[in-house]
Chains A and B, each alone.
Chain A
């Protein structure tokens, strides 16, 4: 079982121009805790939209890599998105699910993955070219590389501890986040 904060910090090390979308709740805090970056787009709501924002970005920026870092509850709310992504087969999109099997933001109620619902099998069934689960430290670097190179859409289910960590709060202002992101992206050739 992995610890989510060191995991996300490792995944985002040497990120270059990786475009990152974080799902609401703990994944947004984890991405912020890994270090502020203008190419981070933090969600605080619109639950279930993270993967599709990633697809829109990936289609718009085919030369850049896009990573969606989200939670099990968030991806479950937009599970059909995996099928939509499977149709388009973006070569530059990776989804990382930090799966703690719980809804941390609402009091640690069990999520569907806690009953054995298999997200990697779902991703494979939806034609993700790479889909794997990781749970040990020696698998993290392989997952990190997947964010930077994959033949088609990639999916990583990271089994993480169900822990409630201190929140690291990035901006909640969607307009500010958008402008910062788009200004930084304009400098990426």
Chain B
């Protein structure tokens, strides 16, 4: 767990509440500081299969398999992981499958690491080019409303929906030697 991320912030619980409401049964993720509280909620939930991935692109296959099997799934990743998924997103577009992705953004507000910037700065465009709808969240108060809408659109409409949780929302990563 990254001590520089504010794990007391409760907005991840609003996301988790929508996972419960939408009956999401599989959650794929690569370990991430920004998502750590949500990941822990999913791990502790016996109704959710938490699947830790070696790379984000595996998660797209997981979501596709879950949907074919009649279960709802969600993916949690950092913006850097979105680039890993691009060819796999052809599954979502070609088969008309729901794909809900919650992205913790890096490489934007107050980023200390320039290596996060190239992918973070094109994350939203990448999603759009792959046929996803994107919603950006900058304020904790908006998490509930936007994630709720994203869940409904993904699963009611068989759509790819990405929610970008901004670096300002998550908190600037404070890094020291």
Contacts and interface: CB of A to CB of B under 8 A. Distances in A.
A77 to B, nearest CB: 10
B57 A49 contact: yes
Indicate the size class of the contact surface on chain A: 35 or more
Given A21-B65, A46-B90, A84-B58, 20 more contacts: A48-B61, A48-B88, A49-B88, A50-B61, A51-B61, A53-B68, A56-B61, A56-B62, A56-B65, A56-B73, A59-B71, A78-B61, A80-B53, A80-B55, A81-B58, A84-B51, A88-B51, A178-B96, A182-B70, A185-B70
Contact of B96 (A55, A175, A185): A175
B91 interface: yes
Interface of A: 19, 21, 41, 45-61, 78, 80-81, 83-84, 87-88, 174-175, 177-178, 181-182, 185-186
Interface in B53-79: 53-55, 57-71, 73
Contacts of B40: none
Contacts, number: 121
Interface residues of B, number: 32
A88 B49 contact: yes
A178 B73 CA distance: 16
A75 to B, nearest CB: 12
Contacts of A58: 65, 69
Given A84-B51, A84-B53, A84-B54, A56 B96 contact: no
Contacts of B54: 80-81, 83-84
Nearest to B65: A56
Contacts of A45: 87, 90-91, 94
B150 interface: no
B167 interface: no
Contacts of A46: 60-61, 64, 87-88, 90-91
Contacts of A80: 53-55, 58
